[in-house]
């Protein structure tokens, strides 16, 4: 069973199952983030412009201060003339002596402390400014990404949402955007490290050629290590992610079916499943993380070898006072020969280079898991909205005569058709009732009219024109719908009613509410029309919410009105009143009502009886009722309870058998 679950929840991706994404793909992915940096290049350059002078200045400053502290201050050697000029020291006392006196060393110390304090005072605000600027920049990129994905999710056809869970959509828009932002960050962050690593490999040549050789060897080794580990890390992290997905799916499923679990007392079994999946998830996480940890350790050890070796042999050089490669050129800093200061300085560079390599390797390791998620993030960005405006789309001109469905077929998933060859015509000024068992395709049929998706086959016409020729906006502006699920927003009642027509006056709102018979109960609310509604309007009863969504549809004042089981939760009296109001209001409009209720159906001029996505019968109530053995007639009879005798006898043995199976 876990096998089948595994394939079902497999992360979709171009590279397929188990096959780790290749190095090249990752780099390709990384470059795909570049377009999101558009508009930020200037900021990045600005940052670089601020940072660069400091970086360049840092080289001589570090050299000089290392020399000053180690060689002059600690060892008491005389100061070079350049250093003396810079620190405004008296050459007689500091340069032209055999050894610095304790007193001059104290003066030098005072200058050095002063220098440290001044540079901190100047440097800290600049550093903070750069950090803050960078933070804002990253957030701005992230924000634009989020907006992009949100728009994407919204524009996606309903078919996509029918197959993707709501939670997943949120996950996409929210998490993936930060994933892309992160990758972008990952793309930017190594750049300084890389520059540092490359720069240092040449720079240390000035000190000692063997340092360059060691660093060069380290880089090659690091690259090979990263490649070897990278592939393995990707496999392990993919496995871990899948195990985690399975576990999440398990919890979701149990919670979705919790009523059944409780009613049938199978909590223990579910707990068993959960424990197994949880252990699996932890087991794969353990493997993946251990490997990542091992990678970190190995890369640390390898990157530590060059500095460690340098520490030992440079110490011997210093002991011998051997000359530096570029000793003559560096004499102004006091680094003509190897001494404690040059040693400290060289060790600082070696550690810096090793640190850069370590940092790059670390980033590489950490990024491996992201590549798995990245594929999905970009797949989200790439999805094209299925329903789009035609190039030559025109505005919806209004309804004169009729809406027709011609041979319309549709399926969410190819293997399960929802509508098959539907033919129907709805005239302006009439009410069309769509009737049939749950799941027979009634709601889908009206969604097609709204172009929430387009039919796979056939066409829908308004006054003979294919609705695909109209712009989406104008089409939807001319159709209002009161939905089966009464979705309300967390604002006031008034705002909810005029959601589609924000500029509607309070009086118009109230008129619409009256048509929907909602005015009375709204006025009974503590703040009337200004009463706030909680998420999904939790404070209202189902019937009240239904009336609100009818009012919302009515206020749009459109030629086509769709009511999707709008009255299911209304009591019979209210329903009757709402329907009477609607047929009064609906003159000259085409109204579609999806309903189960006989009393509602009887109000319709035209009845379409659907079953398994096919139109089984259509016509007026009276016309359909004369058909002997017709599906609609059977439905009505059963509903009225006026037919009962003979099938009962036919069915009874079957259950008798079940009952007798004790």
Partner 1 sequence: MSDVKDGVLDAPVERTPPISNREAARLMLRSFEYLGPLKGQMTVKIGFQILAMLPLIVLPWPTKMLIDHVIQGLAVADLPYSYPFFVAPLAEAILGMSPTGMAIFVGSFLSGMLLLIGAWGMSGRDQTFANVAQGTDEASRSENHANQAFSYMGGILGLIDYRWTLRLTHNLNHHYRSKLFGRMQRLPMTSLDDQRIGDSVYRVMYDTSAITEVCYRLVLTPITAPLHVALVVWVIYLSYGDQPVVIWTALSIVPAALMITFPFSGALRRRMQAARDTGSETTTTIEESINNILAVQSLGGQDREKKRFDDDSWRSFAEWRKLAVLWILMIVLAGLAAAAVGLFVVYELTDKIFTGEMTVGDLTVLMAYYLQIGFSATNAGRLWVYLQGRVIGLRRAFDLMDAEIDHQPEIAKPLKDVREGYVFEDVSFNYPDGTPAMKNVSLEAKRGTLVALAGPAGAGKTTLAYMLPRFITPASGRSTIDGNDIMLLDRQDLRDRIAFVFQEPALFDATVGENIRVGKPDATDEEVQRAAEVAGAAEFIRHLPEGYDTPLGRNGGRLSVGQKQRLSIARALVRDAPVLILDEPTAALDPETEFRLVAALREASKDKLVVVIAHRLSTIRHADQIIFLQEGEIRERGSHEELMQREGGAYRRFVELQRGGGGVR
Which residue from 201, 214, 318, 516 is in contact with partner 1, where contact means CB under 8 A?
Answer: 318
* CB neighbour burial string for 152-173, b if at least 16 within 10 angstroms, e if fewer: bbeebbbbbbeeeeeeebeebb
In the bound state with partner 1, the residue whose beta carbon lies nearer, of 115 and 332, is: 115
Q: How many residues bind partner 1 (CB under 8 A)?
A: 193
Rounded to a whole number of angstroms, the minimum distance from the CB of residue 160 to partner 1 is: 10
> Residue 492's CB: how many other CB atoms inside 10 A?
17
Look-up of token digits 């999946």:
277
Judged by CB under 8 A, the chain residues 402 through 441 that form the site for partner 1 are 413, 415-416, 436-440
Candidates 443, 553, 577, 432; CA nearest to 500 is: 553
In the bound state with partner 1, the residue whose beta carbon lies nearer, of 91 and 296, is: 296
d(CA 510, CA 369): 55
Judged by CB under 8 A, the chain residues 10 through 69 that form the site for partner 1 are none
Which residue from 373, 559, 566, 586 is in contact with partner 1, where contact means CB under 8 A?
Answer: 373
Judged by CB under 8 A, the chain residues 550 through 589 that form the site for partner 1 are 552, 556, 568-569, 571-573, 575-576
Judged by DSSP in three states, 48 sits in helix
In the bound state with partner 1, the residue whose beta carbon lies nearer, of 165 and 401, is: 165
Tell me: does residue 120 bind partner 1 (CB under 8 A): yes
In the bound state with partner 1, the residue whose beta carbon lies nearer, of 212 and 371, is: 371
407: left (phi over 0), alpha (psi -120 to 50) or beta: left
Which residue from 94, 203, 219, 343 is in contact with partner 1, where contact means CB under 8 A?
Answer: 343
Contacts with partner 1, 149-188, as mask; x by CB under 8 A = -xx-xxx--x--x----xx-xxx-xxxx-xx-xx---x--
In the bound state with partner 1, the residue whose beta carbon lies nearer, of 324 and 370, is: 370
Rounded to a whole number of angstroms, the minimum distance from the CB of residue 41 to partner 1 is: 21
Tell me: does residue 524 bind partner 1 (CB under 8 A): no
Q: Quick one: which segment of 37-45, 209-217, 323-331, 651-659 binds partner 1 (CB under 8 A)?
A: 651-659
Tell me: does residue 356 bind partner 1 (CB under 8 A): no
* CB neighbour burial string for 525-553, b if at least 16 within 10 angstroms, e if fewer: beeebebebeeebeebeebbbbbbbbbbb
In the bound state with partner 1, the residue whose beta carbon lies nearer, of 401 and 598, is: 598
Judged by CB under 8 A, the chain residues 187 through 246 that form the site for partner 1 are 237, 244
In the bound state with partner 1, the residue whose beta carbon lies nearer, of 135 and 401, is: 135
385: CB partners within 8 A, 6+ apart: 152, 155, 156, 157
Judged by CB under 8 A, the chain residues 255 through 314 that form the site for partner 1 are 255-267, 270-271, 274-275, 278-279, 282, 285-286, 289-290, 292-294, 296-297, 300-301, 304-305, 307-309, 311-313
619: CB partners within 8 A, 6+ apart: 606, 607
d(CA 322, CA 489): 79
In the bound state with partner 1, the residue whose beta carbon lies nearer, of 30 and 631, is: 631
d(CA 441, CA 213): 73
How do beta strands 465-466 and 590-594 pair?
Answer: unpaired
Q: Are 346 and 63 in contact (CB under 8 A)?
A: no
Tell me: does residue 328 bind partner 1 (CB under 8 A): no
What would the two tokens of residue 38 be?
């558009």
In the bound state with partner 1, the residue whose beta carbon lies nearer, of 42 and 259, is: 259
In the bound state with partner 1, the residue whose beta carbon lies nearer, of 476 and 510, is: 476
In the bound state with partner 1, the residue whose beta carbon lies nearer, of 35 and 265, is: 265
Which residue from 68, 84, 137, 247 is in contact with partner 1, where contact means CB under 8 A?
Answer: 247
Rounded to a whole number of angstroms, the minimum distance from the CB of residue 550 to partner 1 is: 13
Q: Residue 647 burial (CB < 10 Å; 0-12/13-18/19+)?
A: exposed
> Residue 21's CB: how many other CB atoms inside 10 A?
22
Tell me: does residue 539 bind partner 1 (CB under 8 A): yes
Tell me: does residue 98 bind partner 1 (CB under 8 A): no
User: 532 — phi, psi (to 5°)?
Assistant: -75, 150
Tell me: does residue 398 bind partner 1 (CB under 8 A): no
d(CA 602, CA 587): 17
Q: Are 530 and 523 in contact (CB under 8 A)?
A: no
Judged by CB under 8 A, the chain residues 442 through 481 that form the site for partner 1 are 447, 450, 452, 473, 476-477, 479-481
């Amino acid at each position: 069973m876990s096998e089948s679950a595994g394939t079902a929840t497999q992360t979709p991706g171009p590279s397929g199952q188990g096959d780790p994404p290749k190095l090249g793909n990752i780099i390709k992915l990384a470059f795909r983030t570049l377009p999101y940096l558009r508009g930020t290049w200037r900021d990045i350059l600005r940052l670089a412009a601020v940072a660069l002078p400091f970086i360049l200045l840092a080289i001589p400053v570090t050299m000089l201060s290392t020399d000053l502290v180690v060689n002059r201050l600690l060892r008491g050697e005389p100061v070079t003339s350049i250093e003396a000029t810079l620190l405004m020291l008296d050459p007689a006392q500091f340069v032209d002596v055999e050894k610095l006196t304790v007193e001059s060393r104290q003066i030098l110390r005072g200058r050095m402390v002063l220098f440290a304090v001044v540079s901190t005072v100047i440097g800290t605000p600049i550093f903070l400014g750069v950090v803050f600027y960078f933070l804002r920049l990253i957030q701005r990129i992230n924000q634009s990404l989020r907006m992009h994905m949100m728009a994407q999710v919204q524009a996606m056809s309903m078919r996509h949402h029918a197959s993707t869970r709501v939670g997943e959509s949120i996950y996409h828009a929210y998490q993936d955007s930060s994933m892309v932002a992160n990758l972008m960050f990952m793309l930017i962050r190594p750049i300084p490290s890389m520059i540092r690593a490359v720069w240092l490999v040449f720079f240390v040549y000035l000190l000692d050629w063997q340092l360059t050789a060691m660093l060069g060897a380290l880089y090659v080794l690091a690259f090979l290590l990263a490649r070897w580990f990278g592939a393995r890390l990707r496999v392990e992290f993919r496995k871990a992610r899948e195990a985690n997905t399975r576990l999440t799916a398990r919890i979701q499923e149990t919670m979705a079916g919790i009523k059944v679990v409780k009613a049938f007392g199978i909590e223990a079994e579910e707990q068993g499943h959960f424990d197994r999946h949880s252990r699996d998830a932890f087991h794969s996480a353990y493997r993946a993380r251990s490997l990542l940890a091992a990678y970190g350790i190995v890369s640390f050890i390898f990157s530590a070898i060059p500095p460690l070796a340098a520490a030992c042999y440079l110490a011997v050089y210093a002991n011998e006072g051997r000359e530096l490669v570029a000793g003559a050129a560096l004499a102004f800093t006091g680094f003509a020969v190897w001494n404690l200061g040059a040693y400290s300085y060289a060790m600082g560079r070696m550690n810096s280079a090793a640190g850069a390599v370590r940092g790059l390797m670390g980033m590489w390791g950490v990024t491996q898991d992201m590549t798995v998620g990245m594929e999905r993030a970009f797949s989200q960005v790439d999805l094209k909205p299925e329903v789009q405006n035609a190039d030559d789309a025109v505005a919806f001109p209004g309804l004169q005569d009729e809406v027709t469905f011609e041979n319309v077929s549709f399926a969410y998933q190819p293997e399960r058709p929802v509508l098959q060859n539907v033919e129907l015509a709805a005239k302006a000024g009439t009410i069309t009732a769509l009737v049939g068992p749950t799941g027979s395709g009634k709601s889908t049929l009206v969604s097609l009219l709204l172009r929430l998706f387009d039919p796979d086959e056939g066409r829908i016409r308004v006054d003979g024109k294919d609705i695909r020729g109209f712009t989406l906006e104008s089409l939807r502006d001319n159709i209002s719908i009161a939905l089966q699920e009464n979705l309300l927003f967390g604002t006031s009642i008034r705002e909810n009613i005029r959601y589609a027509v924000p500029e509607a006056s309070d009086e118009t709102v109230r008129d619409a509410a009256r048509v929907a018979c909602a005015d009375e109960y709204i006025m009974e609310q503590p703040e009337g029309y200004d009463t706030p509604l909680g998420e999904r309007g939790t404070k209202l009863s189902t019937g009240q919410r239904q009336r609100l969504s009818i009012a919302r549809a009515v206020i749009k004042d459109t030629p086509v009105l769709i009511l999707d089981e709008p009255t299911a939760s209304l009591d019979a009296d209210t329903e009757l009143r709402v329907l009477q109001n609607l047929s009064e209001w609906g003159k000259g409009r085409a109204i579609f009502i999806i309903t189960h209720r006989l009393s509602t159906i009887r109000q319709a001029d035209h009845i379409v009886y659907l079953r398994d996505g096919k139109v089984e019968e259509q016509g007026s109530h009276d016309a359909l009722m004369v058909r002997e053995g017709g599906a609609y007639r059977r439905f009505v009879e059963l509903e009225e309870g006026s037919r009962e005798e003979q099938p009962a006898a036919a069915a009874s043995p079957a259950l008798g058998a079940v009952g007798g199976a004790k």
